[in-house]
Amino acid sequence: MRGRLGLMLLLVSLAACFPVGRDFATFPVEKLQPNVTTKEQVYAAFGEPVEKGSDSGNESWTYYYYLYSVAGPQRQKRLHVIFNRDGTVKDFSFSGS
């Protein structure tokens, strides 16, 4: 009986987890270089961004992935890339836990 209760609690807690955004590999982040890395290279490394926008007149791409459960955030990561007009990375920020 005790084992079944533990299994049920585990299944309920797993079912209560839900992702927001799309997961992405983080190892290419350290390879991003301002004024060198191109949009095509960013796309090849991370795929389609979750959001595209404008940051001070420059195109920006945002990648994020948040995994929540009933206990709160379990995993978080966010990459924001701003591009120069010539299509190279102007600046980027990454945070994760």
Q: Are strands 51-55 and 18-21 parallel, antiparallel or unpaired?
A: unpaired
pLDDT of residue 5: 64
Buried b (16+ CB within 10 A) or exposed e, 36-57: ebebebbeebbeebbeeeeeee
pLDDT of residue 71: 72
pLDDT of residue 68: 85
Domains and CATH numbers, the chain: 18-96 (3.30.1450)
pLDDT of residue 69: 77
CA dihedral 87, 88, 92, 96 (to 10 degrees): 90
| Overall pTM > 0.75 | yes
- pLDDT below 70 — which residues of the chain? 1-3, 5-16, 72-73
pLDDT of residue 16: 64
Burial of residue 83 (CB within 10 Å: 0-12, 13-18, 19+) is: buried
